[in-house]
Amino acid sequence: MTAPHAISVHDIHKRYGDRDVLRGVSFDVPRGQVFALLGPNGAGKTTLIRILTTLIRADSGTAHVLGHDLAREAPRVRELISVTGQYASVDEELTGMENLVMIGRLLGRTKSAASERAGELLAEFGLTDAASRRVGHYSGGMRRRLDLAAGLIDSPPVIFLDEPTTGMDTRSRGALWDVVTRLAGQGKTVFLTTQYLEEADVLADRVAVLDAGAIVASGTAADLKRQVGSESIELVLDDGTTVREVTDGDPERVREVLNRLHHRGRVVRTFSVQAPTLDDAFLALTGHTTTDRKVS
- Asked whether residue 244 carries a pLDDT value surpassing 90, the answer given is no
List helix spans (H) across the chain.
Answer: 45-52, 74-80, 96-106, 111-124, 140-150, 170-185, 197-203, 221-226, 251-263, 278-286
Which of these, 157, 208, 205, lies nearest to 181 by C-alpha position? 205
> Does this model's pTM top 0.85?
no
- Label residue 253 exposed, middle or buried (CB < 10 Å: 0-12, 13-18, 19+): middle
What whole-number percentage of the chain has pLDDT above 90?
51
DSSP tag of 155: -
- Asked whether residue 258 carries a pLDDT value surpassing 70, the answer given is yes
Residue spans per domain, the chain: 5-225, 229-275
pLDDT at 56: 95
- Asked whether residue 2 carries a pLDDT value surpassing 70, the answer given is no
- Helical packing angle, 96-106 and 111-124, nearest 10°: 130
> Residue 191: what residue type?
F
DSSP tag of 134: B
Q: Does domain 5-225 have CATH number 3.10.50.30?
A: no
- Asked whether residue 205 carries a pLDDT value surpassing 70, the answer given is yes
